[in-house]
Structure 1
């Protein structure tokens, strides 16, 4: 039986690199060995680990949805396309949280149905975002769902900015304002939020209003855990 984990996209990349390196005088052999050890094997391991973990989640959830039965997955082209694309993206990240987002997208593409144009846009977005993007989008979709943000908003008497609620909800990112501004700007540029102005002053109640677009809420549903409805 042939190996179901054979002929990965990174295999072709490695072969091309090895062919180029092999033409170098003297050092070609050692560099090929270095490439195979440092990049080739780990890339295959990341891909295989991701596929196995995803299949385990699908099997565990099979009883909860008729759509997750093997015979239905076999006929679900959106699931198959998302699986193939997510596997490719999983080999390019070292983030466990990003891999979980990709797994969620695979499972949600099997359970529900998304317009194919929208699904393809979501895959493109998944390629470019970090877990921090997903966490902030979830927060901006429902600031009232974060107790720390509510307490901060209630403490504001005259006026405050959204960045103050974000700092309260995610104290670990307070020290990197430039990164926060970039992530918020990215979400707005992708059409997932209504504004990138986290420094605008307003009342405490105004700060707790939803700032995700309908597209942003749909994207959240696409990458959220189908059981907990949350992002990692």
Structure 2
């Protein structure tokens, strides 16, 4: 693909804006190009290589005909959107999620593009911690055991007890965690509006993701 056809729109607009400033702006524009363009091209190349390799693997293991994907408008829309979003971040966790969206859309033979766009918007707006806490509270006890942590026997407490066990680094950041949880609740992904409420031991380890939250996780996880 020619370089002119793959230039990042955001970068182009930014450069154009700087270039409109006389003399100093022109120099700044060139400087921005020297700083931004090499890593941007590297991100694109790595993304295309990784996606291509996984598509080839799906062709070999699942019998998906790659040639037929050219006629699949929904798939093309998903690839274009995830590619743009992936090129905006250096976070490996998010890049992997964007890749998962592409391949999980192939597993779901009739994906709703509107729903996928909502999922992509959520991934883009969320931090990695949003995703980690959502995954944790899909099945708290199972997550702890899978990650080599013995769930403590609790008679009473709040869901922060689970967060503290899973991610000790978040223990002094309860306000931060509550902000994240509020985002998840407003998005309809969890069924409890706060991590702070007191409850029984069984309640602490209860599943907190909603049906929509489960669907979101199913669509972004590695399979």
Q: Alpha-carbon deviations, 1:88-109, whole Å to 9, x = none?
A: 1112112011101111111101
The answer to whether the aligner puts 1:178 opposite 2:165 as a matched pair is no
Q: 1:78–1:109: 8 Å Cα contact kept in structure 2?
A: no
1:72 corresponds to which residue?
68
| 1:78–1:149 distance in 2 versus 1, CA, 3 Å | farther
Instruction: Kindly tell me the number of residue pairs found equivalent between the two proteins.
Output: 219
2:92 corresponds to which residue?
96
State how far apart, in whole Å, the 2-side matches of 1:105 and 1:31 are. Answer: 37
Q: 2:158–2:204: 8 Å Cα contact kept in structure 1?
A: yes
Shift of 1:9: 5.7
**Unmatched segments (≥5 aa) in structure 1:** 227-232
1:129 corresponds to which residue?
126
Shift of 1:202: 1.3
State how far apart, in whole Å, the 1-side matches of 2:7 and 2:81 are. Answer: 11
2:141 corresponds to which residue?
144
Shift of 1:223: 0.4
**Unmatched segments (≥5 aa) in structure 2:** none
Moved more, 162-171 or 28-37: 28-37
Q: Report the TM-score, using the length of structure 2 for normalisation.
A: 0.88
| 1:189–1:9 distance in 2 versus 1, CA, 3 Å | farther
State how far apart, in whole Å, the 1-side matches of 2:216 and 2:182 are. Answer: 17
Stretches of 4+ aligned residues off by more than 4 angstroms = none
| 1:57–1:70 distance in 2 versus 1, CA, 3 Å | same
